[in-house]
């Protein structure tokens, strides 16, 4: 929560150079590292239904996590609605396993990837800092 709140409230000098509104036309919502909470890219995001006018981070601070959004799902062309009951059962079991299993702190490489991608999320060529970065950047 602390880092997400900081990202949506900390100006980025590169985005400030662009300007928010130029000649009466909006180019971006603001010049912060992240413009809104939904720019936080993660496979799973904590969520809570917000009150009218409430920011997602404030809703989470006020009342905690209501549900998690699993964003790493691929739509299956073989299922009429894109996913089937067996896949959903597996995801539920896997999510429970992840909650119950101890995990290591985020390492240097993961933090490097996060820091490489998040600030440049508005750029088409943003990609992870690894041996496949050139391939990822070209495919964007």
Q: Contact, 34 vs 118, CB < 8 A?
A: yes
Q: Which one, of 113, 130, 118, lies nearest residue 35 by Cα?
A: 118
Q: What is the pLDDT of residues 40-54, one digit of tens each?
A: 777 788 889 999 999
Q: What is the mean pLDDT of the chain?
A: 78
Task: Spell out a b/e string for 94-113, using b for 16 or more CB atoms within 10 Å of the CB, else e.
Answer: eeeeeeeeeeeeeeeeeeeb
Q: How many residues does the chain have?
A: 140
Decide the pairing of beta strands 44-47 and 21-22: unpaired
pLDDT exceeds 60 at position 33: yes
Q: Contact, 125 vs 140, CB < 8 A?
A: yes
pTM for this prediction: 0.53
Q: Which one, of 132, 133, 119, 130, lies nearest residue 12 by Cα?
A: 119
CA 138 to chain centre: 21
Query: Which ranges in 1-140 belong to alpha helices (H)?
Result: 2-9, 13-18, 56-63, 85-100, 108-117, 133-139
Q: How many CA atoms lie within 13 A of 83 on its CB side?
A: 11
pLDDT average, residue stretch 1-20: 85
Q: What is the pLDDT of residues 63-120, one digit of tens each?
A: 998 988 887 777 888 888 888 999 889 988 988 998 898 877 767 666 676 666 666 5
């Amino acid at each position: 929560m602390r880092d997400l709140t900081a990202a949506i409230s900390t100006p980025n000098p590169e985005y400030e150079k662009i300007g928010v509104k130029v000649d009466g036309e909006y180019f971006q919502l603001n010049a912060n590292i992240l413009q809104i909470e939904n720019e936080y890219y993660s496979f799973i995001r904590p969520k809570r239904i917000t009150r009218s006018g409430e920011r997602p981070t404030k809703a989470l601070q006020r009342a905690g996590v209501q549900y998690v959004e699993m964003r790493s799902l691929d739509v299956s062309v073989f299922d009429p609605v894109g996913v089937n009951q067996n896949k959903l059962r597996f995801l539920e079991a896997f999510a429970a396993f992840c909650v119950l299993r101890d995990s290591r702190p985020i390492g240097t490489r993961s933090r490097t990837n996060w820091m490489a991608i998040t600030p440049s999320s508005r750029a088409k060529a943003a990609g992870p800092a690894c041996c496949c970065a050139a391939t990822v950047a070209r495919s964007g």
